[in-house]
Amino acid sequence: MTSINRRDFFKFVGAGGAGAGAGYLYAELVKRPQELLVPQVVPPEDYSPGLATWYNTVCNQCSGGCGISVRIREGEAKKIEGNPVHPVNQGRLCALGQSGLNALYNPDRLKTPLRNNNEGRFQGIEWEEAIDELAQKLNESRARRQSDRVQLLTGNIRGHVNGLIGHFMEWVGVASHMQYDFTRPANLYEANQLTFGQSMLPYYDIRNTHYLLSFGADYLGTWLSPVHNSLGYGHLRQGQTEKRGTCIQVEPRMSLSGANADEWLPAVPGSEGSLALGIANVIANGHYTGADQAEWANALTTYTPSNIARLTGISEVDIERIAEEFFTNASLAIAGGAATAGTEGVATHIAVNALNYLAGNIGQKGGVIFNSDPGFAQTSTFEHANYQQMITLAEKMKNNEVDILILHDTNPIFSMPSSSNFQEAMENVPLVVALSGFMDETTAMADLILPTDNYLESWGDDVPEPAVGFSVASISQPVVSRLYDTRSLGDILIDTARMMGTEVSWDSTEAYIQDVWSRIYAQQGGDPSGFDNFWRSALEAGVWGQETASTNQGSTVKPFPVNQLSDVSNKLEGDESEYPFVLHPYLTLTFLDGRGANLPWQQELPDPLTSVVYNSWVELNPGTAVELGVKEGDVLEVTSPSGTIRAPAFIYEAIRPDVVAMPIGQGHEQYGRYAEQRGVNPIDLVVPNFDQRSGALAWAGTRVKILKTGERVLLIKTDGITRTLGRQILGPSEAEHG
Amino acid sequence: MLSVHNRPPKIQAIAKQEFREGVRVNVSVLEALKPLRKSALLGIIGIVGIVVGLKINAAYSTHLKPVQPIEFSHRIHAGENQIECLYCHSSADRSPSAGVPSVAKCVGCHERIATVRDSAEIAKLNAYWQAQEPIPWIKVHDVPDFVHFTHKRHVLAGLECQQCHGPVETMDRIERVADLTMPWCTDCHTLNQTDNGLDCYTCHK
């Protein structure tokens, strides 16, 4: 080795130094960043770090009334599951219910009271100031004795919070409280009132029926109480010892329930009620032996199988076969969805009720079971607003007959056709106060916004409807403390009334609910000293009530008012030559009427039948698509007599060639970052007709035409193609015999 | 494998030439290494440097013994005053996490201890309490998120806290003595013949 010279020496020192530096930095780099260990200042009750506690409350994502258990760790909600002891959902929960966390932690929640500064901007204000402003305006109105010029408009609120609202109306002078919910089956309520004299929903015992005939009711997806229905469906298929139940689905576009049925009958849209009466005709003339047989046969003379086959496109043979099967099996007929959202929705429901009556399903196990009395009075100081009443309200607002409009949890601007001009009418109201959790289209019109709690943060109670065959109630409790500076609806009402100088004996919604329940407890014969125990156990269990043998079997069935049967052919708006297709808007189990569109988990959830994510689409039959030269992703212009929207095409095998279907829920202009500017709202195409008897919007009674725009987009979907390409995944022989 | 003989004639010729020249190449490699000896030495010094760097980092770094927002002394509390570990870390025997006492718990005692009530560190505590803010303690014992460690199992198995946390009752400022790496865990699990102690799913789930 040669000697080390000066230059080498410097090289060695450099190498050593660089190495040491690199080593030091490397050690720094691989260190995990320091974390903090942050204790509670004052720990909440039964809190221990690292341990989860499950609290029971009630889901509020749709009106099914499922019981939920929420997993809480370190005071934060981590997961929502079904409450195993709640009879509605029995431990199960749907995707929308799971997404409740997305609503709780949504970054677009309203976090502080806001005032519109008249330049279209909202400014944060203090609660005191906001409540004071509302109280002042209400005081002025009360001084003028103009309680009819104050309108309270809320979404579907159940339970005794309505009682508190009733008190508030009395205290401050509000004459009217309307509840508007697009998903409320108004036609079904009306039909049940007319035929059974009960405007409550009966229990449809899908679980124990052997033969389920559904006219457009997507009972597995969106109809009434989907989780409970799905449980029933599981039992119907696999749990019954006598027989594997049969499901028949009548609808022009295959829904989730259609895809799970044994038979899918795509009757002409709008003729579902006629089909029901056709089946009823066969039963009345060959099977039914009741005392009023002649009356029935007489009322149904025109609904012969041949006539009905021509009208509905379902063959005579099928009609007669279904009639026989329906009569001889323990059967159940239900109706819903687009089939009952026409101009004759009530008539269609009555026709289906008639089927149940003729087959002897009323009050039977596996049939239609009426609910026993819940055992305590429920308040009804409100009315359910149907579409017609909403139009009347819009007229009133337009004519400056409303001074103050108080909104809560309802979005009529989105769920009413734009041609109903609700938005324009609202502009005429001097003071619009929105008690909302989110900035939706309707809230954005408000002058004053009071942010409300998420349902996981508030008190309430609920009597599920449809019930489960016996009386049940659940008390909902806050499972987390408030994340933001929000208040519950009841608390805002109490605060406002106090600000106006009213003596209010309850300090909060909690106190009110507890008071109501102490009275119910006393009414049930409970010992007053035991109330605390009762209250604690009711909150702990999340449900109150006992299963009783309440099927009114054997009790006399009231005769069916045959004279209520009427013309069931729904009127379709639009000239067939100009508008060749029938628009079939449908509720999705991801968004319902659009309320779920701000939940990112729901946006990510592929539609169960088309597998499309994130967008709106127009479903076309493959034959129709070939005829029009349309391929998947072609942007179509869908035009009705009421308006035009654009959405990409999706080729769907299970839809009638003369029908185009569009999912409801997307197309929000406001409602937070996850919902805005995504897809279109097919309700805007609906010509605002309504059912004469119930006043409900006929949202499935519009014809449309389709134009190819030449634009193309890539539809985001998880499916490849629906054909098997000879891969023998499901051969015809397997499908038939398997 | 292709042998030289299986190749087409032309390629065979080239391959043979390569083979012959290879001998010469080998000889020249040794010669070429001579001037590289200095560079090799340079490399060795560099590597030694890296090791020294790592050691310096380990010796002077404070991440095993960070300065806390309040100079809390375990020596005084657990050592001199003989307070049970579980009195403050109260969920260690029933939860994955041992827990740190709430500010309310600290204040609850210190309100009543006149001798130290006005000391600088207690003043800090009172400041947190008055502001109703939590004390941002710096975590000393931490395992990565993919490790499902639970205090409950270990405490119920009869382990002394000191077995992992060291002689806490002698420390003025809390310090990590165990390296909390996987071999450190599995050594103990092996030695004590823990049930399923070496099953992946016991800790990684």
CA distance A19 to chain B (A): 4
Q: Which of B38, B89, B155, B179 to mutate to test the interface with A (most CBs of A within 10 A)?
A: B38
In a domain, A684, yes or no: yes
CB contact under 8 A, A20 and B56: yes
In a domain, A219, yes or no: yes
A195-208: pLDDT as tens digits:
988 888 889 999 99
CB contact under 8 A, A50 and B53: no
The Cα–Cα gap between B54 and B42 comes to 19
Which CA distances in Å does A686 have to A71, A375, A650, A682? 42, 42, 20, 7
Residues of B in contact with A8 (CB under 8 A): 38
Sign of CA dihedral A547, A548, A552, A554: positive
Of A1, A25, A34, nearest to B139 by CB-CB distance is: A34
Closest-CA residue of B relative to A22 is B50
Range of the domain at A636: 581-712
ipTM surpasses 0.85:
no
B140-198: pLDDT as tens digits:
998 888 999 999 999 999 999 999 999 999 999 999 999 889 999 999 999 999 988 89
Number of domains into which chain B is organized: 2
Residues of B in contact with A40 (CB under 8 A): 102-104, 134
The pLDDT confidence band at residue A738, using thresholds 50, 70 and 90, is very low
- What is the identity of the amino acid at A697? L
Long-range CB pairs of B156-160 (<8 Å, 24+ gap) are B156/B93, B157/B194
Which pair of tokens denotes residue A23? 């080593």
Sign of CA dihedral B31, B36, B37, B38: positive
Mapped to the 3 state alphabet, what secondary structure does A276-291 carry? HHHHHHHHHHHCCCCC
Residues of B in contact with A43 (CB under 8 A): 102, 104
A239-292: pLDDT as tens digits:
988 889 999 999 999 999 999 999 999 999 999 999 999 999 999 999 999 889
The pLDDT confidence band at residue A735, using thresholds 50, 70 and 90, is very low
The pLDDT confidence band at residue B3, using thresholds 50, 70 and 90, is very low
The Cα–Cα gap between B202 and B11 comes to 59
CB contact under 8 A, A23 and B49: yes
B39-77: pLDDT as tens digits:
888 888 889 999 998 888 877 777 788 889 999 999 999
The pLDDT confidence band at residue A378, using thresholds 50, 70 and 90, is low
Q: Which of A24, A29, A48 to mutate to test the interface with B (most CBs of B within 10 A)?
A: A24
Give ∠ CA B69-B72-B76 in degrees, rounded to 5: 175
Where residue A329 sits, what CATH number does that domain have? Answer: 3.40.228.10
Taking alpha carbons only, the member of A443, A383, A394, A449 closest to residue A416 is A394
In a domain, A81, yes or no: no
Residues of B in contact with A11 (CB under 8 A): 38, 42
Mean pLDDT (whole number) for B18-39: 60
Any idea which residue has 């279904």 for tokens? A322
Q: Does the pLDDT at position B35 exceed 90? A: no
Q: Which residue has the higher pLDDT, A545 or A717?
A: A717
In a domain, B35, yes or no: yes
Mean pLDDT (whole number) for A1-22: 84
The Cα–Cα gap between A388 and A155 comes to 16
Long-range CB pairs of A496-500 (<8 Å, 24+ gap) are A496/A131, A496/A134, A496/A135, A496/A138, A496/A168, A496/A172, A497/A168, A497/A171, A497/A172, A499/A131, A499/A132, A499/A134, A499/A135, A500/A135, A500/A138, A500/A139, A500/A142, A500/A171, A500/A172
A64-74: pLDDT as tens digits:
999 999 999 88
Mean pLDDT (whole number) for A390-408: 95
In a domain, B201, yes or no: no
CA distance B114 to chain A (A): 22
pLDDT of residue A553: 47
Closest-CA residue of B relative to A27 is B54
Give the residue ranges of DSSP H helices in A629-676. none
Which residues of A touch chain B, with CB atoms under 8 Å apart? 1-2, 4, 8, 11-12, 15-28, 31-32, 34-43, 48-51
Domain boundary among A349, A369, A389: A369
Of B42, B47, B50, nearest to A11 by CB-CB distance is: B42
In a domain, A620, yes or no: yes
Residues of A in contact with B135 (CB under 8 A): 38-39
Total beta-carbon pairs less than 8 A apart between chain A and chain B: 136
Instruction: Please provide the average confidence, as pLDDT, over all residues in chain A.
Output: 91
CB contact under 8 A, A51 and B51: no
CA distance B153 to chain A (A): 13
Three-class secondary structure of residue A471 per DSSP: coil
The Cα–Cα gap between A461 and A542 comes to 10
In a domain, B94, yes or no: no
Of B53, B136, B151, nearest to A24 by CB-CB distance is: B53
CB contact under 8 A, B54 and A2: no
In a domain, B191, yes or no: no
CA distance A275 to chain B (A): 56
pLDDT of residue B17: 60
Closest-CA residue of A relative to B69 is A36
CB contact under 8 A, A51 and B41: no
Of B42, B58, B102, nearest to A27 by CB-CB distance is: B58
Domain boundary among B45, B60, B75: B60
CB contact under 8 A, A2 and B38: yes
CA distance A42 to chain B (A): 5
Number of domains into which chain A is organized: 2
Judged by phi (left if over 0) then psi (alpha if -120 to 50, else beta), residue B193 lies in: left
Range of the domain at B119: 101-136
Which CA distances in Å does B60 have to A27, A258, A607? 12, 70, 58
- The number of CA neighbours under 13 Å toward the Cβ of A349 is 28
pLDDT of residue A6: 87
Residues A26 and B50: beta-carbon distance below 8 Å: yes
The Cα–Cα gap between A608 and A697 comes to 26
In a domain, A186, yes or no: no
Any idea which residue has 């070496």 for tokens? B198
Instruction: Please provide the average confidence, as pLDDT, over all residues in chain B.
Output: 84
Of B37, B53, B104, nearest to A23 by CB-CB distance is: B53
The pLDDT confidence band at residue A554, using thresholds 50, 70 and 90, is very low
A116-130, A245-259, A557-571, A712-726, range with greatest mean pLDDT: A245-259
pTM: 0.84
Cis preceding-peptide flag for A466 (omega within 30 of 0): yes
CA distance A131 to chain B (A): 28
The Cα–Cα gap between A582 and A216 comes to 15
Residues of A in contact with B88 (CB under 8 A): none
Q: Does the pLDDT at position B2 exceed 50? A: no
| Strand order across the A52-58 sheet | A52-58, A67-73, A76-82
- Of A399-408, A477-486, A554-563, B178-187, the least confident: A554-563
pLDDT of residue B29: 58
The Cα–Cα gap between B62 and A390 comes to 68
Mapped to the 3 state alphabet, what secondary structure does A331-391 carry? EEEEECHHHHCCCCHHHHHHHHHHHHHHCCCECCCCCEECCCCCCCCCCCCCEECCHHHHH
Question: How do beta strands A634-640 and A659-663 pair?
Answer: unpaired
Taking alpha carbons only, the member of A272, A374, A369, A387 closest to residue A319 is A272
Taking alpha carbons only, the member of A574, A569, A589, A570 closest to residue A685 is A574
Residues of A in contact with B56 (CB under 8 A): 20, 23-24
CB contact under 8 A, B46 and A19: yes
Which CA distances in Å does A218 have to A336, A339, B180? 7, 10, 55
A601-621: pLDDT as tens digits:
999 999 999 999 998 999 999
The Cα–Cα gap between A65 and A59 comes to 6
A646-663: pLDDT as tens digits:
999 999 999 999 999 999
What percent of chain A has a predicted confidence (pLDDT) above 70?
96
Where residue A702 sits, what CATH number does that domain have? Answer: 2.40.40.20
Domain boundary among A369, A385, A419: A369
CA distance B183 to chain A (A): 18
